[in-house]
């Protein structure tokens, strides 16, 4: 035990201070064991860092980078009464701090780069700040193949960042709308092509985001045969009437 940690241990004993689960402490890794590491935390008994508590994502890579006698912070997970050791975690501390950053990003409503690590029928699996998240199909761009997104970074905004439920929902559309709001605004007239005709109205492609021309914006004559009048890929001059970067929505009307 180092001189500094000896003095620290004396102070702890003098004031009868005990470490508790949930505390964040500083320690030095000094020994590699079969399934973990011993950590000098300035107490009478060394703390124990299990291998599974080393990293949130790539445990093997983190193990390779761990250097004996390095000093860093640890989270106290529990007290092992059998070995009389505190069980420590780097993983839990990284998890807590990742969520702190994500919640801050969500509150500030700013875009962040997300790594697309997988796809399924419902959308895309992403990783941000070592936390796994999800982008629903409804928040992807309309003409982009999900397969083309794999293993790439894309700018996203956070729709939901709930640490308690470990739920992170993201949107490429919201980030894209926030970006194009520097180019277009409410009242802007633009040429756009028809993507789809639905019972709600007609969807146009604006910067690869489906923009809705609601049926309430159409005349009775136009409503009689929407699919014929608004043929797919036909081009129309439309006007922006609503931009919502928080929900990823654009509403339009026909330009006069």
Which tens digit of pLDDT belongs to each residue from 59-77?
565 665 676 778 899 999 9
Considering 154, 177, 200, which residue would you say is the last residue of a domain? 177
One domain for residues 8 and 82: yes
Q: Is 70 helix (H, G, I), strand (E, B) or coil?
A: coil
Count CB atoms within 10 A of the CB of residue 127.
17
Query: Looking at residue 77, what is its pLDDT?
Result: 92
How many domains in the chain? 3
Burial of 47 (0-12, 13-18, 19+ CB in 10 A): buried
Q: Which pair of structure tokens corresponds to residue 202?
A: 């007609």
Q: Do residues 55 and 79 both lie within one domain?
A: yes
Do 102 and 82 lie in one domain? The reply is: no
Q: What is the mean pLDDT of residues 198-208?
A: 93
pLDDT of 134 above 50: yes
Question: Is the predicted pLDDT of residue 192 greater than 90, yes or no?
Answer: yes
Share of the chain above pLDDT 70, in %: 89
For residues 84 and 103, state if they share a domain.
Answer: no
**Which range is most confident: 36-40, 157-161, 182-186?**
157-161
Q: How far is CA 63 from CA 22, 39, 49, 71, 78, in A?
A: 23, 14, 11, 15, 21
The pTM of this model reads: 0.80
Domain shared by 141 and 162, yes or no = yes
**What's the rounded mean pLDDT across residues 107-116?**
96
Q: Are residues 225 and 168 in the same domain?
A: no
Domain's final residue, options 61, 89, 117: 89
Instruction: Classify residue 239 by burial, with Cβ atoms within 10 Å: 0-12, 13-18, 19+.
Output: middle
The residue range of the domain holding 101 is 97-177
What CATH number does the domain containing 227 carry? 2.40.50.140
- Of 68, 89, 110, the last residue of a domain is 89
Radius of gyration of the chain (CA): 27
Q: What percent of the chain has pLDDT over 90?
A: 66
Among 62, 79, 61, 66, CA closest to 25: 79
**Cβ within 8 Å of residue 191, ≥6 positions away:** 235, 236, 237, 238
Average pLDDT, the chain: 88
Q: What is the mean pLDDT of residues 157-181?
A: 95
User: What is the mean pLDDT of the segment spanning 113-120?
Assistant: 96
Q: Are residues 133 and 159 in the same domain?
A: yes
Distance CA 186, CA 173 (A): 17
């Amino acid at each position: 035990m180092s001189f500094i940690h000896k003095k620290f241990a004396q102070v702890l004993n003098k004031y009868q201070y005990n470490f508790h689960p949930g505390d964040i402490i500083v320690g030095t890794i000094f020994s590699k064991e079969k399934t973990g590491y011993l950590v000098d935390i300035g107490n009478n008994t060394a703390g124990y860092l299990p291998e599974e508590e080393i990293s949130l994502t790539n445990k093997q890579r983190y193990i390779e980078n761990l250097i004996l006698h390095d000093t860093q912070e640890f989270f106290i997970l529990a007290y092992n009464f059998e070995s009389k050791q505190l069980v420590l975690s780097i993983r839990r501390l990284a998890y807590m701090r990742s969520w702190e950053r994500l919640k801050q990003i969500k509150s500030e409503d700013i875009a962040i780069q997300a790594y697309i690590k997988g796809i399924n029928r419902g959308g895309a699996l992403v990783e941000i700040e070592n936390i796994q998240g999800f982008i629903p199909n409804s928040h992807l761009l309309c003409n982009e193949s999900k397969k083309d997104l794999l293993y790439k970074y894309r700018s996203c905004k956070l729709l939901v960042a709930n640490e308690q439920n470990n739920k992170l929902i993201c949107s490429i559309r919201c980030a894209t709308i926030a970006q194009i709001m520097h180019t277009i605004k409410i009242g802007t007239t633009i040429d756009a092509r028809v993507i789809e005709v639905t019972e709600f109205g007609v969807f146009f492609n604006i910067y690869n985001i489906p923009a809705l021309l609601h049926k309430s914006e159409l005349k009775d004559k136009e409503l009689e045969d929407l699919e014929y009048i608004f043929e797919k890929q036909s081009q129309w001059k439309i006007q922006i009437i609503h931009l919502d970067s928080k929900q990823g929505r654009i509403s339009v009307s026909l330009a006069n």
